[in-house]
């Protein structure tokens, strides 16, 4: 059965383990600063992911930790776009550090982007394969890759990163902004104007929209989320998701040349507020929807990302409250290990049963009922379970931080 050691082997073979004597936030070779606020922002998104996706009991969750059923945007619906936003922000700094390489050998940069995208996509497929393997072991049935889900969170990140990476190497900021508007406007148009067999045009229902139709046509029901249900990381909706990455890139490109002052934080805040209002108003005609990754959702969540980024920049860079963000910074510095490692462990906890009987409690249910439910109660116990899971992984990352081990894709 695949286990954590298996995951570690795959990560080691596809990523770099970087050991540094100390973490420096100034690259002295090319004078491009590394902003701790970016790592804090990334750590905040990852911590939110762990809390939302690892409750002790899925039926006992605080309302603010539950995704919107379809249209709308609850706090958990901000986590994934925050991931994509910070991928774009990090990309802006990475591209800036490689200006000389781009000037001399652009092909090398293209290959690096393709390689990184392929690694992320492969890791996402690995997590999907692990789910299949665990289900196979528990059921006693042969492993059947005919029902392997192709898309997923890391797969979407990889494709959105690939599209954005190629775009930023060839277009100016103005052209990138125009491209983003064309994609968002075009996506809005095709979602409402393209007629579908049996339901016509303009349907945004879970099983009557263009994304669902194309995924069924291209991927096939067996390779979609829950074997044919609507896939929240569908192919077509990855296109507007790349605009979320692009919004982070443009923000990072702007931040990189700005002074570390409260004025910069305020401009980020103001930009976020404008996007927030614009996205909300757009949502009145093209509903805000995470699963469809609607254009209004892109603008609305980018607004929230800018607001949070402004707070992180002000607190960490301007006010120098490094201690305040340090716990989240540790998570952000080892994000790929945190994401994949916690994903492996959570699949084991939620899919492996305590006994040979397939109806026996899973490991997570047994822990919840035995350790947390008796003293904390249903909802509180479920929440404390996720907090403890987060703390467990934080301690692992802290140990790596003390050893100066950082895994990079």
pLDDT at 29: 41
- The span from the CA of 277 to the CA of 234, in Å, is 27
- The span from the CA of 290 to the CA of 296, in Å, is 10
pTM over 0.85: yes
pLDDT at 28: 38
Of 20-29, 146-155, 353-362, the range with the lowest mean pLDDT is 20-29
Task: Please give the residue that has the higher pLDDT: either 103 or 263.
Answer: 263
Q: Give tens-digit pLDDT for 306-339.
A: 999 999 999 999 999 999 999 999 999 999 999 9
Over 90: is that where the pLDDT of 255 sits?
yes
| CA atoms 118, 223, 299, 266: torsion sign | negative
**Do residues 277 and 194 make contact, with C-beta atoms less than 8 angstroms apart?**
no
Tell me, what DSSP letter sits at residue 294?
-
Distances (CA, A) of 5 to 1, 15, 154, 392: 11, 15, 20, 17
Over 90: is that where the pLDDT of 206 sits?
no
pLDDT at 142: 82
- Mean local confidence (pLDDT), 362-371: 93
pLDDT at 94: 86
> Angle, to 10 degrees, between the axis of helix 153-168 and the axis of helix 106-139?
170
- The span from the CA of 160 to the CA of 245, in Å, is 7
Task: Please give the residue that has the higher pLDDT: either 24 or 388.
Answer: 388
Of 22-26, 83-87, 298-302, the range with the lowest mean pLDDT is 22-26
- Mean local confidence (pLDDT), 348-355: 86
- Mean local confidence (pLDDT), 244-248: 97
**Both tokens of residue 150?**
């192709």
Over 90: is that where the pLDDT of 102 sits?
no
Q: Confidence class of residue 278 from pLDDT cuts 50, 70 and 90?
A: very high
Task: Residue 299: name the closest of 269, 274, 264, 267 by CA.
Answer: 274
pLDDT at 222: 87
- The span from the CA of 137 to the CA of 129, in Å, is 12
Task: Please give the residue that has the higher pLDDT: either 177 or 143.
Answer: 177
pLDDT at 9: 39
DSSP string, 364-406: HHHHIIIIIHHHH-HHHHHHHHHHHHHHHHHHHHHHHHHTTEE
Of 207-211, 238-242, 245-249, 291-295, the range with the lowest mean pLDDT is 207-211
* pLDDT > 70 in the chain, percent: 90
Pairing of strands 32-33, 405-408: unpaired
pLDDT at 21: 38
- The span from the CA of 283 to the CA of 226, in Å, is 28
- Mean local confidence (pLDDT), 349-368: 84
Tell me, what DSSP letter sits at residue 318?
I
pLDDT at 31: 57
Over 60: is that where the pLDDT of 383 sits?
yes
């Amino acid at each position: 059965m695949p286990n954590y050691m298996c995951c570690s082997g795959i990560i080691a073979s596809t990523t770099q383990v970087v050991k540094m004597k100390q973490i420096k936030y100034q690259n002295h070779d090319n004078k491009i600063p590394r902003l701790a606020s970016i790592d804090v922002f990334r750590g905040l998104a990852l911590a939110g992911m762990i809390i939302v996706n690892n409750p002790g009991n899925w039926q006992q969750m605080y309302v603010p930790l539950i995704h919107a059923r379809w249209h709308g945007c609850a706090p958990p619906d901000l986590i994934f776009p925050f991931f994509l936003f910070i991928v774009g922000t990090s990309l802006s700094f990475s591209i800036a550090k490689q200006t000389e390489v781009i000037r001399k050998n652009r092909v090398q940069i293209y290959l690096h982007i393709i390689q990184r995208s392929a690694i992320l996509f492969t890791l996402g497929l690995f997590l999907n394969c692990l789910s299949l393997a665990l289900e196979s072991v528990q059921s006693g049935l042969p492993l059947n890759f005919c029902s392997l889900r192709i898309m997923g969170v890391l797969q979407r990140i990889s494709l959105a990163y690939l599209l954005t990476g190629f775009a930023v190497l060839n277009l100016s900021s103005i052209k990138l902004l125009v491209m983003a508007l064309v994609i968002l406007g075009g996506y809005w148009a095709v979602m409402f104007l393209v007629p579908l067999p049996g339901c016509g045009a303009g349907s945004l229902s879970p099983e009557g929209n263009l994304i669902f139709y194309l995924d069924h046509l291209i991927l096939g029901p067996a390779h979609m989320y829950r074997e044919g249900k609507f896939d929240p990381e569908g192919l077509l909706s990855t296109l507007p998701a790349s605009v979320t990455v692009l919004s982070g890139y443009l923000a990072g490109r702007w931040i990189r040349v700005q002074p570390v002052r409260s004025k910069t934080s305020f401009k980020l805040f103001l930009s976020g507020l404008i996007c927030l209002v614009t996205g909300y108003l757009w949502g009145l005609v093209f509903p805000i929807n995470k699963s469809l990754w609607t254009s209004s959702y892109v603008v609305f969540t980018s607004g929230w990302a800018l607001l949070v980024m402004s707070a992180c920049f002000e607190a960490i860079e301007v006010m120098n409250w490094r201690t305040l963000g340090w716990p989240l910074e540790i998570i952000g510095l080892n994000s790929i290990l945190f994401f994949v490692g916690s994903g492996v462990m959570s699949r084991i906890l939620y899919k492996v049963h305590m006994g040979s009987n397939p109806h026996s409690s899973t490991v997570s249910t047994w822990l919840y009922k035995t350790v947390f439910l008796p003293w904390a109660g249903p909802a509180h116990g479920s929440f404390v379970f996720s907090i403890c899971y987060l703390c467990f992984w934080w301690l692992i990352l802290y140990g790596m931080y003390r050893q100066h081990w950082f895994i990079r894709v």
